[in-house]
A and B are shown apart, each in its own frame.
Chain A
Amino acid sequence: MFESVVRSPYRGLLVIAFLLVVSIPFQKRVEGMRGKFRVVEESLYFSSASLKRLSLGYEELLADIYWLRAIQYFGGRSVEERDPELLYHYFDIITDLDPKFVNAYRYGGTFLAEPPPLGLGDIERGIKLFDKGRKNNPENFRLPLEEAFIYYLYVKDYKRAAELFKEASEKPGLSEFRRASLRGMAASSLSKGGSRELARRIWEEIYRTTTIEGRKEFALRNLKELDAMDMEDLLTQALRRYIGIYGHGPSALSELKRKGLVKEIPKEPFGRGFVIVYKLDKVRSKTLLEQELKYNTAYLSGASRRFKRSFGRYPRDLEELKDFIRENGWDFPEHPLGKEYSYNPETGTVGE
């Protein structure tokens, strides 16, 4: 029997295929117990000095291999699984092996610094990577430009952002139009820190230049949010003029148009429409309103948990939570509908 099997290659190969299939459940079980990616994770902790020696002079190639592995490894993980320290270490290695690999600084720095869900929200490490990139690539304008975006949008350090915009504008090889545009960004950042107009130009630049689909969508969403804010301002102004004239608010937004206070009720960029917040005499985009409410309640519930860590219990009521927040020098976000938040003292949860 055995001999007849091994003497016929076809039967033999069938047996081999069968054995390999039998081995799969065992492979999967071992993977389940030990994880699929152990070797990759371990290789992340090599030092760049030892990798340089290992590369036998093919450092750029090794940097490319590491780059591919980093993209595959981090691209396929959820936000909770992505470790900023590990990611920084990885990009640090890549850029040690190939200091001219500008995209590694850009991708790594931005991914580290941008807030979740797109990035990891580790601004310090993101900036560190950009600084290293600027030092190693003094002629590249993209690195200071994108670092300036981070300072402007997330750190809100407009002076430092202006310095970086200026640095980018001084790099060689730029067209006159781009140079002028960068100088304009530097000036705006310095004089009108936090301006919506400059934020829009930044997001437009990100949208235009990024090749990463997720980031493009993120930039587009931010641009839409800025548009929605402009529309809110326009409609709020009209609403207040209406109240000034008639002494009370309109029953619906369309009345603003009917009374000639606005030419058109603009279409909300996310397609959700606007609502009148009578208590605050404001018009709000439904999308932005819900987003703000969600953010505020999450933030306040977090503060309540911090209270418990300090005092061993949740705040008795919202007033105690407010005092705790203010005592710590933080801001208490007001309810965007002008009312009080609901609060459950047993679970410490703040609701709408």
Chain B
Amino acid sequence: MKTILAVAYNTFVEAKRDRVLYSLLLFAFLMILSSLIFASISAEQYNKIVKDLGLTAISLIGIVISVFLGTGLVHKEIDKKTVYNIFSKPVRRYEFVVGKYLGLSFTLLVNTVAMGFILFLIVLYTELRHGDFIRFYYGGNYFMEFFKAIYFEYLEFLIVIGIALVFSSFTTPIMSLLFTFFLFVIGRFSGDILIFAEGVKNRVLRGLLEVIYRVVPHLEKFDVRREAVYGGSINPELILYTTAYAVIYASVLVFLSIIIFEKREFR
């Protein structure tokens, strides 16, 4: 466990050094702040514009960081030959992979909390300035739903990091970037596979489609941004089951990465 935490800590420190990370964060903050300008010309739809734009910014930047840093996670170590250094110490391969995953997940957690906090301040500002309008149009500011939406976005990042890690453990960063992106898009529209399956008459094909549906990540289930604006029930049961699904799926991905990485030869 100690080794895993050491690798995780190093991954976090390394990510902190990455300039790309800061430029992306800066972009996110600018996007969140710009929501204030858009909100001011939105015909009194302050909280909707601020939340829509802000939550989208957090999601987009989080996904981009997960994909870009995740796809380089393992490959960078191999490319720079630092992997020899690591494995010359008493570090097992699975500890390395799990540590890498946890390190990036923690980086994302810190970033998401930071972005979420800035957005929360802006949402709070709109509440203080335009609370009456917000209650009139939307019935309230739904702060709890707002935090839950950010939490669900973070769960999605955990899965995307896992996907990136799988591809990163056997192919080049460019290819894993492409594969991760494709699987991400499939995951965002996974419901379509089921709709298609339900319309297919051939039982074998339908069965096959249902299996595919159950295997691909259901990323659209992590989108509760609408509830953050309009309210709605994100009950504890939903949070529990969605979290459980995210944890199980992320475990599958990490486990797959370990299997692939165990078989990999370094020259």
Closest CB in chain B relative to A12 CB, distance in Å: 4
Closest CB in chain A relative to B256 CB, distance in Å: 6
Please, how many angstroms separate the alpha-carbon atoms of A37 and B220 in the complex? 10
Closest chain B residue to A68, Cβ basis:
B196
Q: Interface-forming stretch among B111-119, B121-129, B236-244? A: B236-244
A-B contacts at CB below 8 angstroms, number = 90
Let me know if A15 and B255 touch, CB within 8 A.
yes
Chain B residues with Cβ below 8 Å from A27 are 214, 218, 221, 245
Chain B residues with Cβ below 8 Å from A73 are 195
Does B252 interact with chain A (Cβ within 8 Å)? yes
Chain B residues with Cβ below 8 Å from A40 are 191-192, 195
Let me know if B191 and A19 touch, CB within 8 A.
no
Closest chain A residue to B252, Cβ basis:
A19
Please, how many angstroms separate the alpha-carbon atoms of A13 and B248 in the complex? 15
Does B44 interact with chain A (Cβ within 8 Å)? no
Given the interface contacts A13-B259, A39-B188, does A23 sit within 8 Å of B220 by beta carbon?
no
Please, how many angstroms separate the alpha-carbon atoms of A23 and B213 in the complex? 12
Chain A residues with Cβ below 8 Å from B199 are 71-72, 75-76
Let me know if B196 and A16 touch, CB within 8 A.
no
Does A34 interact with chain B (Cβ within 8 Å)? yes
Let me know if B255 and A12 touch, CB within 8 A.
yes
| Of the residues A3, A13, A26, A39, contact of B220 by C-beta under 8 Å | A39
Given the interface contacts A12-B255, A20-B214, A30-B245, does A36 sit within 8 Å of B191 by beta carbon?
yes
| Majority DSSP secondary structure for residues of A touching B | helix
Chain B residues with Cβ below 8 Å from A34 are 221, 238
Chain B residues with Cβ below 8 Å from A2 are 94
Chain A residues with Cβ below 8 Å from B221 are 27, 30-31, 34
| Majority DSSP secondary structure for residues of B touching A | helix
Closest chain A residue to B94, Cβ basis:
A6
Does A326 interact with chain B (Cβ within 8 Å)? no
Let me know if A26 and B245 touch, CB within 8 A.
yes
Let me know if B238 and A23 touch, CB within 8 A.
no
Closest CB in chain A relative to B21 CB, distance in Å: 28
| Of the residues A9, A31, A42, A72, contact of B198 by C-beta under 8 Å | A72
Please, how many angstroms separate the alpha-carbon atoms of A301 and B235 in the complex? 41
Does B258 interact with chain A (Cβ within 8 Å)? yes
Please, how many angstroms separate the alpha-carbon atoms of A154 and B248 in the complex? 55
Please, how many angstroms separate the alpha-carbon atoms of A19 and B235 in the complex? 25
Please, how many angstroms separate the alpha-carbon atoms of A269 and B221 in the complex? 52
Chain B 191-245 residues near chain A, CB threshold 8 A: 191-192, 194-196, 198-199, 214-215, 218, 220-221, 223, 226, 235, 237-238, 241-242, 244-245
Closest CB in chain A relative to B202 CB, distance in Å: 15
Let me know if B262 and A6 touch, CB within 8 A.
yes
Chain A 30-51 residues near chain B, CB threshold 8 A: 30-31, 33-34, 36-40, 42
Let me know if A7 and B262 touch, CB within 8 A.
yes
Let me know if A12 and B259 touch, CB within 8 A.
yes
Closest CB in chain A relative to B243 CB, distance in Å: 9
Chain B residues with Cβ below 8 Å from A26 are 241-242, 244-245, 248
Closest chain B residue to A22, Cβ basis:
B248
- What are 26 A-to-B residue pairs whose CB atoms are below 8 Å? A2-B94, A6-B93, A6-B255, A6-B258, A6-B262, A12-B258, A16-B259, A23-B248, A26-B245, A27-B245, A29-B241, A30-B221, A30-B245, A31-B221, A33-B235, A33-B237, A34-B238, A36-B191, A37-B191, A37-B195, A38-B223, A69-B195, A71-B199, A72-B195, A72-B199, A76-B198
Residues of B within 8 A of A (CB): 92-94, 188-189, 191-192, 194-196, 198-199, 214-215, 218, 220-221, 223, 226, 235, 237-238, 241-242, 244-245, 248-249, 251-252, 255-256, 258-259, 262-263
Query: A-B pairs with the 6 shortest C-beta distances?
Result: A12-B259, A26-B245, A23-B248, A39-B220, A72-B199, A29-B241
- Apart from A36-B194, A39-B191, A72-B195, what 6 extra A-B contacts exist at CB < 8 Å? A15-B255, A19-B251, A30-B221, A30-B242, A30-B245, A38-B223
